[in-house]
Structure 1
């Protein structure tokens, strides 16, 4: 059974890992995205995430159910609010029978999340403010 959330609180990666873990699955892949300081020559100081929360939950649930129907357990949690450098912004975990599927499905989930889920980021860089997220 999947677990999906949008959180205003810091992400507890260990607790989320325990949610994805299941004795029927032998491969677990976790992606934890953090706020990085440098993107090329651009230095970020902090990021503020916002979301259309009800739609984001709906879209994340669709993504999770699609993967679960293939035979996996899925956990996806995205943080909103102001985050400092090295704070966890997103957690995606997939437990599957084998590692190959877990890697493939975890990568697919984070890619789909970034492209289609209504979560935006306002990056406070040293030289300007930038916006990112789906159009």
Structure 2
């Protein structure tokens, strides 16, 4: 059974991981995206995420259901609001029978979340404010 959410509070990574634990699955892979300080030569001081929450949850649910139909368990949670350096911004986890599928599906999910889910990133950098990061 999948779990997806848009969170306004700090992510409880352990609790999200615990949602994946099940005796039928031998591999659990998680991705946790955090706010980093440097992107090439650009220094970030904070990030603000916003989302079209209803549509974001709908899209994340579709993605989770797609992977679960292949025999996995999925957790996808993205945080919104003002985040400081090193704060967790996104958690994607997959539990599958074997590690190879868990790795593949976790990578697929985080990449597809970034492409399809309506979440926007406003970066507060030392030189200016950027939408979506440095170009």
TM bucket by the smaller chain? Answer: over 0.9
Paired position in structure 1 for 2:120:
120
Q: Deviations over 1:90-110 (max 9, x none)?
A: 000000000000000000000
Paired position in structure 2 for 1:19:
19
Q: Distance in 1 between matches of 2:6 and 2:43?
A: 26
Q: Distance in 1 between matches of 2:23 and 2:118?
A: 33
SS for the counterpart of 1:78 is strand
Gaps of 5+ in 2: none
Gaps of 5+ in 1: none
Q: Distance in 2 between matches of 1:123 and 1:22?
A: 37
The two structures, once aligned, show a CA RMSD in angstroms of: 0.8
Runs of 4+ aligned residues of structure 1 deviating over 4 Å after TM superposition are none
Deviation for aligned residue 1:69: 0.2
Paired position in structure 1 for 2:76:
76
1:33 equivalent to 2:61? Answer: no
Provide the aligned length of Structure 1 versus Structure 2: 133
1:98 equivalent to 2:83? Answer: no
Deviation for aligned residue 1:132: 1.3
TM-score, normalised by the number of residues in structure 1:
0.97
Q: Deviations over 1:25-79 (max 9, x none)?
A: 0000000000000000000000000000000000000000000000000000000
TM-score, normalised by the number of residues in structure 2:
0.97
Paired position in structure 2 for 1:67:
67
Q: Distance in 1 between matches of 2:98 and 2:77?
A: 23
1:129 equivalent to 2:129? Answer: yes
SS for the counterpart of 2:63 is helix
Q: Distance in 1 between matches of 2:22 and 2:125?
A: 40
